[in-house]
Amino acid sequence: MEFLRTIARKISRIIYGVYLDYVYYRYGIEGINRELLKTKIPDFVLVKFGASIGEGTIVYHNISVHAAVKDYSNLIVGKDCRILRGGFIDLTEKVVLEDTSIIGINVSIITHMNVGESELRNNGYPNVTGPVCLKKGVVTCTGSIITHGVTIGEHSIVGAGALVSRNVEPNSVMMGNPARPLKYFRSQDRIQSESK
């Protein structure tokens, strides 16, 4: 019976893949973005259209990808990561999640700031872009926002609702708007608590 379920799952993914090819042909990557919001297998969709996702990573449904030019190749996710529901990922520049990183519920990762065609552009506000990198073991909690050009150091925690606009040192706990360090862990303390 399990064999038949496996075959049925593979066949349904093949059919879904053909449907996604049609959507891409007809509507481009914006059509795939709409499908990504609805699908129950977002990791399949992301990988099919160029994202790199490591083994053991789980991508929950209802995530939104913005500003992907032609595919999702700017998304690189390591092993055993989690991308939870409601996440917003801007792929104007690269977004890298190293192994065991977690993007919490409704977290936004923004790789560009664009004032569009408003008068602000004429007044000297340039478009600004930059990659975002979450190093190994980073946890971003519910509703936090990570802006362009930020690297969050290994084993750091970004608290709920925090706005991170500057690089974060490893082993930090960041809270607030703008995010400020609340606490630093020494790596020995973290290792001791993990072994208990």
Range of the domain at 133: 51-181
Per-residue pLDDT, averaged over 169-182, amounts to: 92
> Residue 189 has what pLDDT?
57
Whole-number average pLDDT of the chain: 90
> Residue 119 has what pLDDT?
77
- The answer on pLDDT for 7 being more than 50 is yes
> Residue 20 has what pLDDT?
94
Question: Has this prediction a pTM greater than 0.85?
Answer: yes
Instruction: State the pLDDT confidence band at 188, using cuts at 50, 70 and 90.
Output: low
Residue-wise pLDDT tens digits, 33-62: 999 999 999 999 999 999 999 999 999 989
The set of residues, in sequence order, having a beta carbon less than 8 Å from that of 189 and lying 6+ positions away, is none
Domain total of the chain: 1
Residue-wise pLDDT tens digits, 116-147: 777 777 777 788 899 999 999 999 999 999 99
Residue 36 in any domain: the answer is no
Residue 194 in any domain: the answer is no
Of 51-55, 121-125, 152-156, 172-176, the range with the lowest mean pLDDT is 121-125
- The answer on pLDDT for 192 being more than 80 is no
CATH of the domain at 64: 2.160.10.10
* DSSP code per residue over 29-86: HHHHHHHHHH-S-HHHHHHHTT-EE-TT-EE-SS-EEE--SSSSTTEEE-TT-EE-TT
What span, in angstroms and rounded, lies between the C-alpha atoms of 36 and 43?
Answer: 9
Residue 154 in any domain: the answer is yes
Residue 75 in any domain: the answer is yes
